């Protein structure tokens, strides 16, 4: 763990905690490392989503009603 890491407390369901500990032993990593990696992955996915939204910001908006009409017209519903 990095020297400048922050400590935090999380509360897990006992069975989830047990499974996480077993996973940690199985892959020779600490519970903290597994959780930190999971959080990084989640934030990375959020960053990708934000980038996708930014790339599409100039696309015209389509209302729900229009989308349903278009799907019906195209025989998809």
Tens digit of pLDDT per residue, the chain (77 long)?
A: 667 899 999 999 999 999 999 999 999 999 999 999 999 999 999 999 999 999 999 999 999 999 999 999 999 99
Predicted TM-score (pTM) of this structure: 0.68
Q: What are phi and psi of 65, to 5 degrees?
A: -60, -45
Dump strand ranges (E) for the chain: none
pLDDT value, residue 39: 97
DSSP class of 60: P
> Which residue carries 């897990």 as its tokens?
12
What residues contact residue 71 under an 8 Å CB cut-off, 6+ apart? 77
């Amino acid at each position: 763990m990095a020297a400048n890491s922050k400590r935090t407390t999380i509360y897990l369901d006992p069975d989830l905690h047990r499974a996480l500990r077993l996973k940690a032993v199985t892959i020779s990593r600490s519970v903290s490392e597994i959780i930190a990696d999971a959080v990084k992955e989640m934030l990375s996915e959020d960053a990708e989503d934000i980038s996708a939204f930014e790339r599409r910001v100039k696309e015209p908006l389509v209302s729900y009603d229009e989308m349903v009409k278009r799907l019906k017209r195209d025989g998809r519903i």
